[in-house]
Chain A
Amino acid sequence: MLKRIFIVDDDEISVFLTESILERHGYLNCVKSYLDPIKAFAEILQTLQESSDGHYLIFLDLNMPIMSGWDFLDKLSAYEASLKGKCHVVILSSAVDGREIARSSQYPLVLNFVPKPLDPTAFELILETLQNNGALPAGKS
């Protein structure tokens, strides 16, 4: 059961598009979007640490001012042990670069690397992966 979906992206249009896709799949009520990555990190971490069960999905943009998506991941890795299994990060990047995909696979919390814009097929694939991991009950999509 997905308890919450976070969007961390400084591009307003991109956030609007991601939210539209999530809305179509009926997840809008549990979506929380951030344009400021620093604020996002603080709040998301607090939410995750206070929660004892359920699964959380984070759509993370890479190209952001001050705190890039990579900085975000590096900071999150410090809490990796307690987050593993309940926090799933999907990188949502405007450009698809082989080196970046390889780099993202080094982070155990990263579930997938998806190019912008997020489309329904890609989101369904994400949900499928979550089902396979046991994070979601099968057949929910």
Chain B
Amino acid sequence: MNSPIIAHPDFYASLVFNSSDLISILSPTGVYKYVSNSSTTILGITPEEFIGKSTLSFMHPDDVPIALNAIEQIRSRPTIHLPPFRFRHKNGSWRWVDCVVKDMTADPNVKGIVSNARDITDKVEAEQQLEMREAYYSSLFLNHPDAFFHLNPEGIIEAANQGMEPVLGLPIPQLVGRPYADFLTSQSIKAAKQLFSQALLGYSGTMELEALNFEGRTVYLSITAIPVILNGKVTGIHGIAKDITQIMQAQITIKEQAELLSSVFSSITEGFFVIDKQWRIKYANPFFILFFGLQIKFFKEQELWQVAPELHNSPFFEVCQQAAQTGKTVHFNEYFPERQQHIRFAIYPFSGGLTVYFDDVTLQKKKEQELLDLSLVASRTTNGVVIMNAEGKVEWVNDGFSRLTGYSRQEAIGQVPSKLLQGPGTNPETSARIYQLYASQQPFSQEVLNYKKNGEIIWFHIDVTPVFNEAGQLVKYVAIENDITELKQKETEMLQLTENLLRRNEDLQQFTYIVSHNLRAPVANILGLSYLINSEKNRDSDKFEKALTKIAAAANHLDMVISDLNKILSPLKNAANALQEPVNIHSIVQAVTAGLQEQLEAVHATLENQLPPDLTLTGSIAYFYSIFNNLITNAIKYRNQETDLKITISGQTESQKITILFTDNGMGMDLEQVNNQLFQLYKRFHPGTEGRGIGLYLVKTQAEAMGGRISVQSEPGKGTTFFLTFSL
């Protein structure tokens, strides 16, 4: 500084004069005494314009206190560096000025306060702008409701805003200074590293990561990493964290439910699919895939008609449209001739499209049809058809059953057929057998006498088949009832005929035998007697005489037998077509009694005819006459010697039949001894009485020829009753 050039006073004047700083000299009250030339450059005001004016008049009113403060302090302090203040430019704008003042009042060369000011407007404005930016940033970073954090290039958290606290439940001091990886689950660290290294290369990115909160529970965060680039270099990374745990949990729940639904749909044995409003398949279960023979990959999102063209242009399409329009569920069946299948559809419309269930019901339809056919057959057949439950109670009968038995379906249902139809004429053994056969649960056939509702007899041939379910349990019986009444009647008639023929044949054999004995007996006697007569030399002998008498008796006997034969043969001859004339029995008895009046009176006999006077039977007058004649004659013959004979003839009517009782108080018989030979030809049971054993034989033969029957009750010593039964 002490160089020779400084010595000259002009040097300093020139320095001040040309300096870019504004140098001025002020009075102690702030009035300008000198202003350097630079004032024109800096403020557009010439130095002359400053002289004599107060510095305060050029200052910004807000900054005046700074000047007043400096004027006050300058007396006690030699140099003051004022804070920046604003100074008026000639054009009206304000310029920031940095100013240093020094009190040089004591210096004789100056005698005033030197002010050295510099225009710092550009600097101050730049500083102010920087402050504003920082305020923005800090406001954005610290006060933003989202969670923000800052990482340095080493991955250490350098800062975190208030929003970060609730995310993990940790206070910010516990976050700052620690590497980010400390807060993530091990599964997420790898992904996080990728995001971090991308950011270090200058790329932003977002990832969903799993972090652990203060309790050690997993929280799902969406992390966005933004690189902070300064001068083309990444100096740090900003991070934004969003808690998406609830969203994630909702997504997991949705996914789980979707899987559950899918498994439910897959397990549905019916076909199931969902289509949207554009007929695109949104879902279809395996049955659908199988049914339409699809490859799983190719059907989703395809139009239904492409996958299953047969559903197009079919009633199904129309019904779907209808369901979509009305929003109402539709059930319907459709037959697909090419498949030969009946498909049952259930279509449920919903806001997004249609849900369709479908099932192959071909078998079911077939069974329904079969059942329909069967029921048609069963109802139209002339036979009776009865369906019973496992307890044997009627569930259904056809019209044929009602026609045959007279019981309507309503009357039959719930009844046990055996109990409903069997009656007093049903053979109890047959009844028991049917019961056992039902219990045996085996198919069986049986002929049985049943009764119609009106009491008429009907013979059924029944075929019963038990029906079992898949488990082998008895569920039903099916019975077919065939009316065999006519057949049975013919069978009965045939049996009757055979019986009659057999009996007649027996009778004939008996007849032949008896006739041969009885016819030969007198012949043998005659032969013997004639031999005796021929060989007897003495014709006057007693023996000769006896033989002659006896030969006459024997010849008479023979004659009698021959006349008997005539009587006997007559009913046999006419048996096939016995006379069919009405005969009043009461009158016949009266006539017979009259004819035998003499004989009856001779033995003091009484006869009581108690028969109804109008009793009329169909037959032959001669036979009825012969019957009563024989019975009365017999009664006289075999009367009890100790009491007077009493004969009673009465009738008992019972269901289309009359039994005539012929009772006497005669000798009676031991029926055990008589055995069953009483009514046989030439059988005599009373030794010592006259009789040829033809009377009762004739009674029986004649009664039977007219469709009657005869039986007897007797007790030795008390009397005999004959029972003659005829159809009315």
Q: Which A residues lie at the B interface, using CB under 8 A?
A: 10-11, 13-14, 16-17, 20, 35-36, 38, 62-63, 65-67, 93-95, 97, 115-119
Contact = CB atoms under 8 A, between A and B. Distances in A.
B673 A17 contact: no
Point out which of A62, A116, A118 has the most chain B C-beta atoms below 10 A from its C-beta.
A116
Contacts of A118: 528
- Chain B CB within 10 Å — which of A13, A63, A66, A119 has the most? A13
A94 B524 contact: yes
Contacts of B518: 63, 94
Interface in B197-234: none
A94 B561 CA distance: 14
A19 to B, nearest CB: 10
9 contacts: A16-B546, A35-B687, A65-B687, A93-B517, A94-B518, A94-B523, A94-B524, A95-B513, A117-B524
B473 interface: no
Interface in B662-712: 673-674, 682-688, 693
Contacts of A62: 517
Contacts of B527: 117
Given A116-B524, A117-B525, A65 B516 contact: no
A11 B685 CA distance: 14
Contact of B693 (A65, A67, A116): A65
Contact of B553 (A10, A13, A38, A94): A13
Contacts of A11: 521, 525
Given A17-B525, A93-B517, A95-B516, A66 B685 contact: yes
Given A13-B554, A36-B687, A65-B683, 5 more contacts: A17-B525, A17-B532, A63-B518, A63-B682, A65-B687
Nearest to A66: B685
Q: How large is the interface on B (under 10, 10 to 19, 20 to 34, 35 or more residues)?
A: 20 to 34
A80 B206 CA distance: 136
B328 interface: no
Contacts of B685: 65-66
Contact of A13 (B517, B550, B684, B688): B550
Contacts of B524: 14, 94, 115-117
A11 B683 CA distance: 14
B409 to A, nearest CB: 64
Given A16-B546, A65-B693, A66-B687, A95 B673 contact: no
A114 to B, nearest CB: 11
B520 interface: yes
Nearest to A20: B532
Nearest to A16: B550
Contacts of A17: 525, 528-529, 532
How would you classify the secondary structure of chain B's contact residues: helix, strand, loop or mixed? helix
B534 to A, nearest CB: 12
B528 A14 contact: yes
Nearest to B687: A36
Nearest to A38: B687
Interface in B638-675: 673-674
Interface string B544-555: 001000100110
B341 to A, nearest CB: 83
Most buried by B among A66, A116, A118: A66
A35 B683 CA distance: 15
A69 to B, nearest CB: 11
Nearest to B554: A13
Interface string B534-567: 0000000001001000100110000000000000
Given A94-B517, A97-B513, A116 B687 contact: no
Given A13-B553, A20-B532, A116-B525, A94 B693 contact: no
**6 nearest A-B residue pairs (beta carbon):** A117-B528, A65-B684, A116-B524, A17-B528, A94-B521, A95-B516
B543 A20 contact: yes
A117 B521 contact: no
B677 to A, nearest CB: 9
Contacts of B137: none
Nearest to B524: A116
Nearest to A118: B528
A111 B521 CA distance: 22
B12 interface: no
Contacts of B543: 20
B531 interface: yes
Nearest to B536: A20
Contacts of B523: 94
A64 to B, nearest CB: 8
A88 to B, nearest CB: 22
Nearest to B682: A63
A17 B513 CA distance: 23
A69 B266 CA distance: 102
A13 B525 contact: yes
Nearest to B530: A117
Interface string B493-534: 000000000000000000001101110110111011101100
Nearest to A10: B687
A65 B516 CA distance: 16
Contact of A14 (B525, B532, B673): B525
Contacts of B528: 13-14, 17, 116-119
B572 to A, nearest CB: 20
Contacts of A16: 546, 550
A66 B528 CA distance: 26
